[in-house]
Structure 1
C-alpha cells in the first residue's frame, strides 16, 4: 500500500455541498487505472474544509468505489480528540490506512506533535502515514522527530515534502533519513515536480496530486522509476515542466488541478470550497492548451 503510486483525488463541490457522483467517478478512474493506493481527504481532497459527517461520507464513497484498491484516508484536525474520532470513522468504513498531518492554529512544538502521533498511533488498528507538509501546516519536522515518530506502533510511511532538485542531494537526503528510521517504514515523495527525482533517489512511493486526476501519466513515471529506468522517469517528468511551473506560479497544485478537472468535464465549475477558486484567465487558457497538447482526458 505504501509503495508505488498513491493517487490523491479532488473532493469536488457543487452548490449543494459535496458532489458525490463526481467524486465517485474520480475514484473509479483511479481504480480502473490500477494505481497502488488511493489517498482520500488529503490536501487535494480539501479535508480541512469539511465537517466530520462530510469526511465520513467521502471516506465511505472512496472505499466503496475503489474496487479493492487500498484507500488511505486523511484524519488531520486541530484537536487530538477530533483526530481520534476521524480515525475511528475511517477504520469503521474499511480504510486500509490513515494519513495524519499536524494541523494547528497555534504553532506546535516538537513534543506536542510527537504527543499527537503517539496518542493516535496507539489507538489505531490500521497503518498510519505521517504527513510532513510544511507548506500548509507551517510545521517543520526535524529528522530526529521523524525518527522518534517512526518507532511508534502502526507508523508505516512518511509523506515527505519535495526533495532537492539535484539528484545527488536528493539521494543524500533520503539516505540520511532512511538511516534513522525502522526498515518497515517507507519514504514517500510529494510535490509532483520532484517525484521522479525522489523515486530515483530511493523513495518507495509517490503521493501524487496529478495522479489523482490523470493516473496514467503518473503511473508511467512511477513504473519507469520502479524498473530502474531513472533517465526515462526523469524524461517523462521533464515533459510536464510547463505544468510544474504553473503549479509554482499558482501557489501550489490544488487550484490548477481543480481547473484541469473542470476543463475536462470531470467535475462541475466551480468545484472548490469557497473562498478557494480554481485558476482562471490566462493561466487557465495555458492549462487548457497543455491538456490538449498532451491529449489528457
Structure 2
C-alpha cells in the first residue's frame, strides 16, 4: 500500500492512530509535525504532497474549542472549512483519498431517533457550522472522500472529558454534571482502528459515515461510569443544561446510527462502557 499521511498528528486521535498503526504493523503511515503540515499554508501542503505522495490522507486537524469558537469565528472557519478544502484540493491534484473526521455537532439534536447520514444537518453552534462547511467543501471538491462523523471523543491522550472528570473527582467532594444531553462516548482508539480498517479495505465506498461506540448515555451517566470504574468517591449530581449555561449551544440528542459503517466495512463496534474500562485501565497503569 502507498503512503498514508496524517494531519493533526499531535492531537488525541493522531496519537491513537500511531498506537493502532503500530499494533496493526502498518508501517507506511506518516505523522508530520504541525509546523511541516499546516493545512492553511497551500505551499507547505503542496511540498508535503510532492514529498510523500500519499494514497490516503487522514485529517484530524480541527478547531474544537466549542465555546471559544463562538467568539473566534474566523479562526474556527479557517481551520475547519478552509483547511479541509485545502486538503481536498491537494488530494484531487495528487490522486489521493481523503479521510476527514467530522462531528455530531453538525446536527441540531432534536430528532426522536438515532441520526443517520442522510438526516438534515442543522448546526446550532459556530463549531458545528464550520465543521459542516468543511464537509460540504470536501464533497464539492473531491469525490474520493470518507467523512467520518463521531461524538464525545476521549482517550488516554490529550484533554478530554474522561481525563477531566478523573482530575476533578480527585480534587472535589461533589460535581454537578449535565444529565439532559444524550449521546454516545467514543474511545479514540476504536475510532482510529475503524479508520485504518476502512483504508486497508481497499474499497471505494466513498461518502459519509457515522462512528461512535455502541450504546446511549448522558454526560451525567458517562461521568458516573468513569467514577465507578476508577473507584472514585466523588458524588455526582445530575443537573439540567439550563443550570450550566455555556457560550455555545450543544445538541440535546446526538445518538448516531452506525448501521452503514458496520455493514459496508464489516466493522464490529465495542460498547461504550467496555471501551471506557479499557481506557481507564491504561490511564491507571501510566
| TM-score bracket, shorter-length normalisation | 0.3 to 0.5
| TM-score normalised per structure 2 | 0.37
TM-score (norm 1): 0.36
